Amino acid sequence: MLANMFNGLVRAAYPPLCVSCGVETEAENGLCSDCWGDTYFIDGAICDSCGTPLIGEDMGDELICDSCTHAPPAWIQGRASVVYDGGGRRIILALKHGDRLDVVIPLAEWMIKSGADLLRKTDVIIPVPLHRSRLFTRKYNQAAALGNQIAKRTNIQTVPDLLIRTKRTKMQKGMSRNERLENQSDAIQVNPRFVQMIVDKNVLLIDDVMTTGATMSTCANECISAGAATVNTLVFARVARDE
Ligand SMILES: [Zn+2]
Ligand SMILES: [Zn+2]
């Protein structure tokens, strides 16, 4: 009851804003009608591996896109809520901007719907770590914010600092320019403090947006090397492939 009262007070002080464009809207935790029409929610036939929408109807078969067939990702199953385009792209920008924490709640709800199959078999939710270069411009890791919200609503454990960025520290002597750049770039590692949290566990990796899936693959490989039983992925927005 207290929570309801609190929500009522929050609503009175802050009228609901469209999560995509920020205009005041009647729909709570939702989109204004313009953005609703401009946001492509993924349903119907999808690739079971990467969640990208596929042409044709969902006949209940397990479909795999051409790209995942040719180069299977490091994880098993993947889901996404929207295509990264139009309204979906604006939502990601609002989230990245960092002053719209209210956006996290509807996004988490949409992700819970899209990832329902995967959440049922998840033991632990792990967010993709924030890129080091972005720490200067952003106050928080939006993947962790989404992971925390999803974990809270599904009663699944989350370990926000399980994956960490580390600097490669090989000696630079004798390296080419490209090798040096690579050496200086971030690497992702399982935090040794928390490694026991994923051993023999079914991991669900969370991020706000997936483009090529390269970062997600690194995260999945690190979790598998550290002893995770399975790794699946759930993102809010997916850059759709032309297939
Ligand atoms: Zn809008
Ligand atoms: Zn795919």
> Nearest-CA neighbor of 195 among 225, 232, 236?
225
Ligand 2 center from residue 222 Cα (angstroms):
20
Question: Which ligand approaches the C-alpha of residue 91 most closely?
Answer: 1
Ligand 2 center from residue 49 Cα (angstroms):
5
Query: Rounded mean pLDDT of 78-104?
Result: 86
Percent above pLDDT 70 for the chain: 81
Ligand 2 center from residue 34 Cα (angstroms):
30
Question: Which ligand approaches the C-alpha of residue 34 most closely?
Answer: 1
- The pLDDT tens digits for 31-55 are 888 888 899 999 889 999 999 999 8
Ligand 1 center from residue 93 Cα (angstroms):
13
Ligand 2 center from residue 169 Cα (angstroms):
34
- The pLDDT tens digits for 170-225 are 666 777 777 766 665 668 999 999 999 999 999 999 999 998 888 899 999 999 99
pLDDT of residue 26 exceeding 50, the answer is yes
Q: 17-238 belongs to which CATH class?
A: alpha beta
- Distance of alpha carbon 64 from alpha carbon 54, whole angstroms: 9
pLDDT at 240: 77
For the chain, the domains span 17-238
> Nearest-CA neighbor of 125 among 237, 232, 236?
232
